[in-house]
Structure 1
Amino acid sequence: MSFDVVIVGAGPAGLSAACRLMQLASENDHPLSVCVVEKGAEIGSHILSGALFEHKALDELFPDWERMGAPLHTAVSDDKFCYITNEFNYITVAEPLIPETLQNIGNFVISLGNLCRWLAKQAEDLGVDIFPGFPASDILYNSQGMVAGVITKDMGFDKQGGKKSTFEPGIELEAKYTIFAEGSRGHLGKQLIEQFHLDHGKQPQHYALGLKELWEIPAEHHRPGHVIHGIGWPLSQTGTNGGSFLYHLENNQVAVGLIVDLNYHHPYLSPFDEFQQLKHHPLFSQHLTGGQRVAYGARAITKGGLSSLPRQQFPGGVLIGCDAGTLNMAKIKGSHTGMKSGMIAAESVFYELEQGFHQTTPGYDKIFSQSWLHDELHESRNVGAEIHRFGNLLGGALSSIEQKWLRKTFKWTLRDEQPDHECLEPIANHQPIHYPKPDGMLSFDKLSSVFLSGTQHEENQPCHLHLADDSIPINLHLERYAEPSQRYCPAGVYEVIEKDGKATFQINAANCIHCKACDIKDPSQNITWTPPEGSGGPNYPNM
């Protein structure tokens, strides 16, 4: 199948690119065929974010979004930032000390999944073809080495790689231009960065793991638009960077979560168990007690900022959104920046098509350099490095001073050159962490949590989690790190079990919620995440 433009991923970046392309086609009377492929079973089923939403990009894309019924219903009503000192206490930071970038009055508490469903409807109304349940597995190149589209995944192989009676080969989607918007640590994005040396001269990319639950709480405890952000305990016990949040949405629902920077050092740290522990703190438990947990999920967050942002254009396409790393760390927001990167990609690709070009290098960089997106990322370029190098307290104070008073004039750029996977220290340097047993009311185990993510995979298919060397988990990592994948995975995918008197590494691929933590944090970079058969993975309701 041939299209003018193929877009990989139906998140905010990919769908914004699709909408903007069709708007430009209509404005210039230049017909286009645009296709979006999405690995989730439906649009929004793999989307997870806090989410506090700044509507700057949406204002540009659809100025009349309110009349059009965009799902922005709950404006932030009050906004609190806290330092959590220990398991019982916290200090509320005075508003004059909080940088403008972290103040949220004027933003909305939303479900990003629902926003993507709305964007998909706008795209289809504009004439875009959207195909959920079709993961892109490989990149097509033409004879000159330019990107020429993608191939969707073959379906119907058994665990041994043999064809089942249901086998269907993947489809070649040929494109004059291809836009990659897979989200954080996209498996095709990784290949493009390596193929075209897009990260040459850049600092390593950095990531965090975001864990989130959705709760329904009693109506008398519900405060629509109430927002809490926290830093400190429990992550401070191990010197780990990150932060926590709790947002009151509509319909008596509350989103609660923890973000753990994946540059952490402690080999026994479990992001999942840190999150479960967090909810017992009075700052959060007062909102959750008496409520019911209705959804759980996790995903990686690309957070290196401008210093880690690869060159986004290459022959035949563009890399956008979290696939590239456009999140604004100073605001802790990436949806509006991802949308804007998609809109810029659409403009750069449309210009090439309008000139009659095919598979050239779009002029994304020029438009990007003159946009508010570049200005935002430039002003926030030091935030991640300051926190990574100096810790949550001192680094946070430095970044707050810079963002509040110096961001327009500060000339220096700090760099953070150590990749996240190299930060893990051996168990010889640390004591095991003994996490409290979950109580079934505020804290829970991994398997019951995975159940609430709606995760489903076809069991009889090849494992989509590939080990470069099967021996490394037991022969190297077990002794040195107590095999950390058992803990950094928030879904119980990886286990060390005893079989015939020997330690054996087991992969429970059916549990995978596609967070990509394993692809990022494995200290030997031995694990590669690839998409499973179409429709596999989580099925988030309104995360």
Structure 2
Amino acid sequence: MEYDVVIVGAGPSGLSAAIRLKQLAAEQNHEISVCVIEKGSEIGAHILSGAVIDPIALNELIPDWKAKGAPLNTPVTDDRFMILTEANHIPVPNFMLPPLMNNHGNYIVSLGNVCRWLAAQAEELGVEIFPGFAAAEVLYGEKGEVVGVATGDMGIGRNGEKKSGYTPGVELRGKYTLIGEGVRGSLAKELQKKFNLRDGVSPQKFGIGIKELWQIDPAKHKPGLVVHTQGWPLDSATGGGSFMYHLEDNQVAVGFVIHLSYENPYLSPFDEFQRFKTHPSVRDFFEGGKRISYGARAINEGGLQSIPKLTFPGGALIGCSAGFVNLPRIKGSHNAMKTGMLAAEAAFEALKGGATGGDELAAYPEAFKASWSFKDLWKVRNVKPSLKHGMWIGTLLGGIHMWLNDLGLGFLVPWTTPHAKADHETLKLARDCQPIAYPKPDGKISFDKLSSVFLSNTNHEEDQPIHLQLRDPSIPIAKNLPMYDEPAQRYCPAGVYEVLRDDSGNNPRFQINAQNCVHCKTCDIKDPAQNINWTVPEGGGGPNYPNM
């Protein structure tokens, strides 16, 4: 199938790129064919975010979004920040926070529902969208340029045999290919390596965000309330924090982000989140309520100094495939949308000028550097590196940096601090760390992993190739277990990885429950041996988030 532009991923960046291409085509009477492929079973199925969205990019893309029924229904009305101790909390007055941290003017949303709405706008403009098709392979031309992607075969058995329902993958060829897979996408990894896109930049840094959606007692619901916390249950050496966002219909999105630079291999992000909800200042919101959804995904945290080269022959990286999240604001959707729009504008101008593809869209990174998106990340570029000094000193240093930029005194901090280590390099040996005793879940406020995965509606065909590949099958037991007590059994928020033993407690073996995978990519990021390679499963597999 031939197109002018092929877009991988129907998230905010990919859909914004598709819409912008068609808008320009209509404005300038220059026909362009655009397709978007999405590995989720439907648009929004794999989208998970907090989310409080800054509408700055949406205002540019679709100025009349309110009249068109965009699902931004809950403006922020109350913005709170707290530091948690084990038994109490310390409120931080808003006047002490840098102005860029202010959420007034933003909206609490389900990003999945926003993407569903964006997809409808794209289809009205003539964009072809194909959910349930995972881009499994990059296609290269005779000169090594990218000429499109191929979807994975459907109906392949666990041992590689073709089943009765076998359907071969499809080649989607484009003059330009925009990669908007999201965090740690498998094609983006390949392209960054093949074209040396990460040369000269800091390693990307990541967090894991774990989220639940609750229906709470109407008497406790405060539409528009935004609460962020730092502190307990994490120690100062472990970065992270929580969010609670009160949406419409008595719903509350609650989540916890832990920076994947943590050191203790016994730490379990899932269990830290469950423990957080039992805090006296948090628990009351959820008592008497009902948990209705669960999910997890990795988050880019490296900021400006971790963004790779954005273009390669025949295409570009957009959104979280490159990493445009503003960490202290906990926001990336506005930058994802903007970078998708900027890449679309560069591709349109090239095609309008008669380009046949295979070249680099040099106008895209130039436009990014001149955009408000670049400025958004420039102001906070030293916040994440400051956290190497610990949560409290790092937060103070980062706060000073943001205040100076907000006051127009950014010239006093002209430097950009690089990131020293990738997240898989930060674990200490198990013998040098203390195991963490997590409380047993009560089934009312705190829960176990398997009941949580059930709420994510995750499904993979049982008889399909395992999409979580071990480069060396011996490493989990021979190396990771004695050195780190195999941390995969804890950093995975879905119970995918287990170390099983016989009845006498001996003969450990490593088991992968791939059908549980919620596609968060944490294993691909945090495995200390970089032995786990996350690849796309059969199209449509994975979580099916209705409103996350």
TM-score normalised according to structure 1 size: 0.98
Alignment partner, residue 353 of structure 2: 355
| Consecutive unaligned residues in structure 2, runs of 5 or more | none
Alignment partner, residue 525 of structure 2: 520
Asked whether the equivalents of residues 152 and 169 of structure 2 are also in contact (C-alpha less than 8 Å), the reply is: yes
- CA distance in 2 between partners of 1:56 and 1:330 (Å): 18
| Consecutive unaligned residues in structure 1, runs of 5 or more | none
- 2:26 partner SS: helix
- 1:214 partner SS: strand
Asked whether the equivalents of residues 196 and 314 of structure 1 are also in contact (C-alpha less than 8 Å), the reply is: yes
Asked whether the equivalents of residues 222 and 248 of structure 1 are also in contact (C-alpha less than 8 Å), the reply is: yes
- 1:268 partner SS: coil
- CA distance in 2 between partners of 1:330 and 1:380 (Å): 7
Q: Please say which of residues 507-516 and 163-172 is displaced more in the overlay.
A: 163-172
Asked whether the equivalents of residues 202 and 310 of structure 1 are also in contact (C-alpha less than 8 Å), the reply is: yes
Cα distance, 1:415 vs structure 2: 1.4
Alignment partner, residue 187 of structure 2: 188
What amino acid is aligned across from residue 495 of structure 2 in structure 1? G
Asked whether the equivalents of residues 159 and 462 of structure 1 are also in contact (C-alpha less than 8 Å), the reply is: yes
Alignment partner, residue 89 of structure 2: 90
- 2:343 partner SS: helix
Structure 1 position 177 matched with structure 2 position 176 = yes
Alignment partner, residue 543 of structure 2: 538
- 1:307 partner SS: helix
Alignment of 1:336-347 (within 5 A): 336-347=334-345
Cα distance, 1:222 vs structure 2: 0.9
CA displacement, residues 328-368 of structure 1 (integer Å, 9 cap, x when unaligned): 12322000010000000100111111111122111211111
What amino acid is aligned across from residue 23 of structure 1 in structure 2? Q
Cα distance, 1:491 vs structure 2: 0.1
Alignment partner, residue 378 of structure 1: 378
What amino acid is aligned across from residue 320 of structure 1 in structure 2? I
- CA distance in 2 between partners of 1:283 and 1:352 (Å): 55
Alignment partner, residue 229 of structure 2: 230
- CA distance in 1 between partners of 2:527 and 2:101 (Å): 32
Cα distance, 1:125 vs structure 2: 0.3
Alignment partner, residue 309 of structure 1: 307
Alignment partner, residue 330 of structure 1: 328
- CA distance in 1 between partners of 2:521 and 2:429 (Å): 22
- 2:391 partner SS: helix
- CA distance in 2 between partners of 1:19 and 1:493 (Å): 37
- CA distance in 1 between partners of 2:490 and 2:480 (Å): 13
Cα distance, 1:499 vs structure 2: 4.5
Alignment partner, residue 482 of structure 2: 479
Alignment of 1:66-465 (within 5 A): 66-86=66-86, 88-236=87-235, 239-357=237-355, 358-363=357-362, 364-387=364-387, 389-406=388-405, 408-409=410-411, 410-465=413-468
- CA distance in 2 between partners of 1:241 and 1:474 (Å): 29
Asked whether the equivalents of residues 6 and 174 of structure 2 are also in contact (C-alpha less than 8 Å), the reply is: yes
- CA distance in 2 between partners of 1:33 and 1:245 (Å): 40
- 2:294 partner SS: strand
CA displacement, residues 135-154 of structure 1 (integer Å, 9 cap, x when unaligned): 00000010011100000001
- CA distance in 1 between partners of 2:189 and 2:144 (Å): 17
- CA distance in 1 between partners of 2:230 and 2:46 (Å): 27
- CA distance in 2 between partners of 1:46 and 1:419 (Å): 26
What amino acid is aligned across from residue 474 of structure 1 in structure 2? I
Runs of 4+ in 1 over 4 A off after TM superposition: none
- CA distance in 2 between partners of 1:155 and 1:68 (Å): 37
Asked whether the equivalents of residues 379 and 405 of structure 2 are also in contact (C-alpha less than 8 Å), the reply is: no
- 1:466 partner SS: strand
- CA distance in 1 between partners of 2:57 and 2:288 (Å): 38
What amino acid is aligned across from residue 376 of structure 2 in structure 1? E
- 2:147 partner SS: strand
- CA distance in 2 between partners of 1:26 and 1:406 (Å): 40
What amino acid is aligned across from residue 480 of structure 1 in structure 2? M
